[in-house]
Amino acid sequence: MAPLPPGAGQPPVRLLIPVLGLDTPIEPMGWKVVQDKNGVRSEWEVVDYAAGHHINTAYPGEAGNMVLSGHNNIGGSVFRPVSVIGEPGVDFGLNDEMIVIDRLGRRFTYRVNGWRRLKEKNASIGKRIENAEWMAPTEHAQLTLVTCWPPNSNTHRVIVTGLLTGIESD
């Protein structure tokens, strides 16, 4: 599927994952600068009760990596069903549809092409930088979902990626 022409993208407003029954708004998401005993770093400000679109990533249908983050156990837990991908009895995985709707009402379908669970708590700075590469720009139109795992804590990051397979206009 060819991505939209450069400059034709619009902000995302809704995420649907039919197999999970997930239907949630999407809001812009930025970051703050934090200073502690380990130095200065930036920290994402994940939105509550919605998926957060990382403001420095692609818009739906554009070439590049559109990154959406959501909480798994606080702030509405909108990505709880996403966080348990790969666990027994969970019917969410490869080739499942993830649909993003932009502010013009266009529907962009992405199909899951991979997922991983990455240790984050007590991971080295090098490992955390390596983990963050999943949020880096891509040449192709990709959707990346980011949340935490397990459901009762936040020791790992769950990353779900999907490739653009369809664009529908109203």
CA distances from 23 to 99, 100, 152 (A): 9, 10, 22
Q: Which residues face 30 on adjacent strands?
A: none
Tens digit of pLDDT for each residue in 129-145? Answer: 676 788 889 999 999 99
Q: Domain of 73?
A: 12-168
Q: Is residue 119 part of a domain?
A: yes
Q: What is the pLDDT of residue 23?
A: 98
Q: Is residue 150 part of a domain?
A: yes
Q: How far apart are CA 1 and CA 10, in angstroms?
A: 18
Q: Is residue 7 part of a domain?
A: no
- Token pair recorded at residue 49: 């009760």
Q: What is the pLDDT of residue 113?
A: 97
Q: What is the pLDDT of residue 44?
A: 79
Q: Is residue 2 part of a domain?
A: no
The C-alpha R_g of the chain, in whole angstroms, comes to 15
Q: Is residue 5 part of a domain?
A: no
| Successive 10-residue mean pLDDT values, the chain, 170 residues | 91 98 96 82 86 96 96 94 93 96 98 91 73 85 94 89 94
Q: How far apart are CA 69 and CA 128, in angstroms?
A: 16
Q: How far apart are CA 21 and CA 36, in angstroms?
A: 40
Q: Is residue 3 part of a domain?
A: no
Q: How far apart are CA 60 and CA 16, in angstroms?
A: 13
Q: How far apart are CA 146 and CA 134, in angstroms?
A: 9
Q: Is residue 114 part of a domain?
A: yes
| Count of the separate structural domains present in the chain | 1
17 touches 98 (CB < 8 A) = yes
Three-state DSSP state, 131 = helix
Q: What is the pLDDT of residue 119?
A: 79
Q: What is the pTM of this model?
A: 0.91
Find, among 160, 29, 17, the residue nearest to 86 by Cα: 160
Q: Is residue 44 part of a domain?
A: yes
Q: What is the pLDDT of residue 135?
A: 84
CATH classification at residue 46: 2.40.260.10
